[in-house]
Structure 1
Amino acid sequence: MSNTSNTLLLIAGSLSVSASLAHIAVIFGGPDWYRFFGAGERMALMAERRELYPTLITLAIACVLFTWGLYAFSGAGLILKLPLLAPALVAISSVYVLRGLAFIPIYLLRPDIMSPFWVWSSLICLTFGLIHTAGTWLAWPSL
């Protein structure tokens, strides 16, 4: 595996783990954080009422993102090789890229719901996805 693939997958893993930690911070930050990070007014109101749903959903997302970070670290050789590493990295990259591109059909089909959140979160996901994709591509022979 080349240094470039190690570096890209290490960055990819760090981005996913950082996103996971950001989701954990939202849980502790409460309703205002749900609003600020674009979870929507409905989630913020449920958090204000101390309902469990926003916490469980946000925690589930955090767990998925953390797992994705572990897969990137595994592909980089930082931790032991995880099961189904190559297909998992392809799937993770695909989800990030597709989520990143999701704002295009939303903008075209439902411009009324387009918000700054959709734009910046899509750009973040697209960036994460491209880094995951490039790292996976370069590491592919060793996966």
Structure 2
Amino acid sequence: MYAFSTGSLALIVGASLSAAAAMAHLACIVIGAPAYRFMGAGERMARAVDAGQLRPTLVTLAVTGVLLAWAAFALSAAGVVEPLPLTKVALVAISTVYLGRAVAFPLIKPIFPENSNTFWLVSSGICGLIGLVHAYGTVSLWRTL
């Protein structure tokens, strides 16, 4: 049995969290407007879903795809799946985006005034946690990537 390092384990956890976030986004598509409202996406997005517009689904699928790609890069670096090209660069970018999203929410919040304060605090906390886990794993495995 292969013993994973703490860096590998961190990236496996990070990948799992990214995949869970992707599944939460897919759940919004399946459940519909109530899920968008519950997740704090804003009333405009929920109304667009209620109106049968395609845009919310496309945006949500795009976010889902990005999150799943990020999970794949983390699993690649952890040695769970085959190596992917540019993994080192990707992990730095992934960590930066998650951490940036966590701390920049006061700057982003005015662009999306319909999103609730709860949405911003919870999603920013989650992004911060996922970003820290990715950053720890990336730093820990830096020489082997």
Structures share fold, TM-score greater than 0.5: yes
The match for 2:79 is 77
Describe the superposition over 1:55-91 as per-residue Cα deviations: whole angstroms up to 9, x where unpaired. Answer: 0000000000000000000010000110100000000
Q: Percent identity?
A: 45
Task: Name which of 120, 134, 138 aligns with 2:122.
Answer: 120
Letter in 2 for 1:128: I
Task: Name which of 51, 63, 66 aligns with 1:64.
Answer: 66
SS in 1 for 2:82: coil
Describe the superposition over 1:72-120 as per-residue Cα deviations: whole angstroms up to 9, x where unpaired. Answer: 000100001101000000000000000011134468xx6xx57111111
The match for 2:28 is 26
Q: How many residues align?
A: 139
- The 2-side partners of 1:106 and 1:61 are apart by 17
SS in 2 for 1:83: coil
| RMSD, aligned α-carbons | 1.7
| Unpaired segments ≥5 residues, structure 2 | none
The match for 2:45 is 43
Q: Would you say the 8 A contact 1:9–1:73 is kept in 2?
A: yes
Scaled by the length of structure 2, the TM-score of the pair is 0.91
Task: Name which of 10, 15, 23 aligns with 1:8.
Answer: 10
Scaled by the length of structure 1, the TM-score of the pair is 0.92
Quick check: 1:102 aligned with 2:87? no
Structure 1 moving runs of 4+ over 6 Å: none
